[in-house]
Amino acid sequence: MRNIYGLTIEDLEGYFLSIGEKKFKAVQLFTWLYEKRIKSFDEITDMKKTVIERLKEDFRLDKLNLAKVERDIEVNKYLFDLEDGSCVESVLMRHDYGTSICISSQVGCNMGCKFCESGRLKKVRDLSSYEMVLQILMVEEDIKTRISHVVIMGIGEPFDNYKNVTDFIKIINHPKGLSIGSRHITVSTSGLVPKILEFADFPYQVNLAISLHAPNNEIRNKIMPINKAYPIEKVIDALKIYYKKTNRRITFEYIMLQGINDTVDCANELVRLLRGLNCYVNLIPYNETNNIEYKRSKKDSIMKFYDIIKKNNMNVTIRREFGTNISAACGQLRSKREDL
Ligand code: SAH
Ligand code: SF4
């Protein structure tokens, strides 16, 4: 039986038509699920008893099991148990402009980036769209506030789970769903070229971020194995097509790893690589982890790097750090619960 929180409005319209009902019932049901937040189909008052019985037969309305919450001043970290015994983490951040949540898209990740804690656990499976929707619903329930921004930057490679991730976006973006504006949703990918091209035709104005992390193939091959399949120039070509079709500015994420990708030469090479693209570079001070030997770049190398990009009139920021106290920062999430 499918979990109801994984169905898009189109899926539900198809469902209602298939049981001989009008398709506007889909919007009604979305309102019950996401506005009224029902706990049982019996709470629905504007559908016939027979329809409600059908819904009960055909769909589950289960939530995830919240195993643990860690709270810090600006950040909460949530650990959820999934039905098959896997776990998933989500991180809530409070900003002056609202609250954002970082969603995981898979259990583990197969991309194997050398610096990433999440990538050390091979992919166990993709998350279903309902498991992503419920990360948001349950966190909203906990904080009793609506979440305004969503980043798909937790564990997993979202473009390796394309259908479920795009269904998830459709559900949370729908005005009768969670109504999170598409410009407030960001998907981050390690650069799966065919999916970047497919995403260029996805008719939602969602932000795209690329985990670039190196200005050339030599360095990128060393830290991101995916670069051997889709080298930098292929990624950039795909992004040019993406930009032509969507007109949306692209974000490049660049983790600062001491002695690996943080030299003045690297900064100049990055400027040459990205020149002419409408983009935004986000420098990320690396979060060191116990199991990985990479070190965070020194503050002055980060500043020098930043200055070079800035001087070349490109948009650049240094990412503010969130959640390091409770290991909720980028790359520190896990999908195991052994130290619960
Ligand atoms: N798989 C996707 C999305 C999840 S990773 C991707 O790679 O884009 C989200 C971001 O966190 C990526 O840019 C990733 O490279 C970065 N990241 C991974 N480990 C990190 C660490 N230890 N410190 C800082 N950022 C890290
Ligand atoms: Fe996977 Fe992203 Fe981590 Fe790479 S950085 S291993 S793609 S989660």
Asked if residue 149 and residue 284 are part of one domain, the reply reads yes
The C-alpha atoms of residue 1 and residue 7 are separated, in whole angstroms, by: 12
Asked if residue 228 and residue 178 are part of one domain, the reply reads yes
Q: Does residue 102 have an active-site annotation?
A: no
Are 42 and 108 in contact, with CB atoms under 8 Å apart?
Answer: no
Q: Which domain holds residue 103?
A: 65-339
- Residue with token string 């189109």: 10
Residue type for position 92 = L
Ligand nearest to the CA of 188: 1
Nearest atom (ligand 2) to Cα of 331 = 3
Asked if residue 87 and residue 31 are part of one domain, the reply reads no
The tokens describing 69, both together, are 């919450």
Asked if residue 222 and residue 124 are part of one domain, the reply reads yes
Would you call 168 exposed, middle or buried from its count of C-beta atoms within 10 A (0-12, 13-18, 19+)? buried
Where is the domain boundary, 60, 78, 107? 60
Asked if residue 287 and residue 148 are part of one domain, the reply reads yes
Q: Is the pLDDT of residue 326 over 70?
A: no
CATH code for the domain of 229? 3.20.20.70
Are 248 and 205 in contact, with CB atoms under 8 Å apart?
Answer: yes
pLDDT at 340: 44
Q: Is the CB of 188 inside a 6 Å radius of any atom of ligand 1?
A: yes
Asked if residue 52 and residue 88 are part of one domain, the reply reads no
CB atoms within 10 A of CB 264: 12
The C-alpha atoms of residue 296 and residue 289 are separated, in whole angstroms, by: 10
Express each pLDDT in 197-215 by its tens digit.
999 999 999 999 999 999 9
Express each pLDDT in 58-81 by its tens digit.
999 999 999 999 999 899 999 999
Express each pLDDT in 125-161 by its tens digit.
999 999 999 999 999 999 999 999 999 999 999 999 9
Asked if residue 138 and residue 51 are part of one domain, the reply reads no
Q: Sorting pLDDT into bands at 50, 70 and 90, what band is 332?
A: low
Asked if residue 70 and residue 86 are part of one domain, the reply reads yes
Residue in 89, 117, 131, 157 annotated catalytic: 89
Asked if residue 147 and residue 44 are part of one domain, the reply reads no
Q: Sorting pLDDT into bands at 50, 70 and 90, what band is 323?
A: low
Phi, psi of 232 (to 5 degrees): -50, -45
- Number of domains composing the chain: 2
Asked if residue 251 and residue 232 are part of one domain, the reply reads yes
Asked if residue 31 and residue 53 are part of one domain, the reply reads yes
